[in-house]
């Protein structure tokens, strides 16, 4: 018999909620304006910039590409990102960010099945925690590792390795849920079987090695605890061969 599925480790942005296009992006743009920075990220441009994980790093990379020196870009990015984080946290607290369809049902089903819940995200703790309270309030997440807790952001596996360590589980006993190729790389490098649930920004990316690629949680074949167990079993069987 293969390893049991004991925990599901969720990514946040794009996975629990479709946050990027109409959540983070306008918060970045308002923050640029508040700091008098003449940058406004369009929908397609922001989609390309998502390859750079972490809001502060994303801003700094774009400022450097526009000709700012390294030190000036870093310094301005830190200030703009602080404002962006406050703006996005307000959005979260106001209830503007909602769960992806079918996600609350999946989380409830996992909890009923005794499968533990964890989160591994690149996002900042100050908005991640209130967002989890709002989206998954009834079902507390045991372990939350954020971008503030790691030295290296995704696609580096550190955030997943820390989540597994805090859960006290080997990678073979957990399943990751991600929305992007960058996230899949991070989870896979940590040894986790990974289900990808795509969104508008990530559909069409290369998900080679995923346990499954789904367009959503809901629909005729919803992602349930049982299906997670089946996908985990199939993926760990493949890995152990």
What is the phi/psi pair of residue 102, to 5°?
Answer: 90, -15
Q: Which of 150, 144, 212, 135 is nearest to 178 (CA)?
A: 212
Q: How far apart are CA 171 and CA 73, in angstroms?
A: 37
Record the tokens describing residue 68, joined without a space: 């700012």
Helix/strand/coil percent split, the chain, to 5: 50, 10, 40
Residue span 34-73 as binding mask against ligand XBP, x where in contact by CB under 6 A, dash where not: -------------------xxx------------------
Out of 89, 122, 199, 202, the residue judged to bind ligand XBP by CB under 6 A: 122
DSSP 17: B
Task: Pick the stretch among 9-17, 66-74, 105-113, 223-231 that binds ligand XBP (CB under 6 A).
Answer: 9-17
Closer CB to ligand XBP, 18 or 236, in the complex: 18
Annotate 186-203 with DSSP letters as a single string: HHHHTT-EEEEE--TTTT
Angle at 15 between CA 63 and CA 126, to 5 degrees: 60
Measured from the CB of residue 179, what is the shortest distance to ligand XBP in angstroms? Answer: 7
Strands (E), the chain: 7-10, 116-120, 143-145, 174-178, 193-197, 212-214
Measured from the CB of residue 66, what is the shortest distance to ligand XBP in angstroms? Answer: 19
Measured from the CB of residue 12, what is the shortest distance to Mg ion in angstroms? Answer: 7
Measured from the CB of residue 98, what is the shortest distance to ligand XBP in angstroms? Answer: 16
Residue 13 binds ligand XBP (CB under 6 A): yes
Total residues in contact with ligand XBP, by rule CB under 6 A: 18
Q: Any catalytic annotation for residue 62?
A: no
Out of 3, 13, 110, 169, the residue judged to bind Mg ion by CB under 5 A: 13
Summarize as ranges the residues that interact with ligand XBP (CB under 6 A).
11-14, 20, 24, 53-55, 84-85, 121-124, 147, 154, 183
């Amino acid at each position: 018999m293969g390893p049991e599925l004991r925990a599901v480790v969720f990514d946040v942005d794009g996975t629990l909620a479709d946050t990027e296009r109409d959540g983070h992006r306008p918060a970045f743009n308002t923050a640029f304006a508040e700091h008098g920075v003449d940058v406004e990220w369009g929908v397609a441009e922001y989609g390309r910039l998502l390859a750079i994980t972490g809001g502060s790093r994303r801003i700094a990379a774009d400022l450097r590409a526009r000709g700012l020196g390294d030190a000036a870009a870093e310094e301005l990015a830190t200030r703009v990102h602080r404002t962006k984080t406050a703006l996005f946290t307000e959005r979260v607290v106001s209830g503007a960010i909602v769960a992806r369809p079918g996600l609350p049902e999946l989380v409830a089903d996992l909890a009923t099945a005794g499968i533990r819940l964890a989160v591994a995200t690149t996002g900042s703790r100050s908005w991640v925690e209130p967002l989890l309270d709002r989206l998954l309030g009834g079902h507390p997440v045991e372990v939350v590792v954020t971008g503030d807790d790691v030295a290296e952001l995704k696609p580096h596996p550190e955030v997943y390795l820390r989540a597994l360590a805090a859960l006290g589980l080997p990678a073979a006993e957990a399943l990751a849920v991600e929305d992007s190729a960058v996230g899949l790389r991070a989870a896979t490098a940590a040894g986790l079987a990974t289900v990808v649930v795509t969104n508008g920004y990530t559909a069409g990316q290369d998900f080679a090695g995923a346990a499954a690629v789904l367009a959503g949680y809901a629909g005729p074949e919803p992602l349930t605890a049982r299906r997670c167990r089946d996908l985990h079993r199939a993926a760990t069987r493949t890995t152990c061969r």
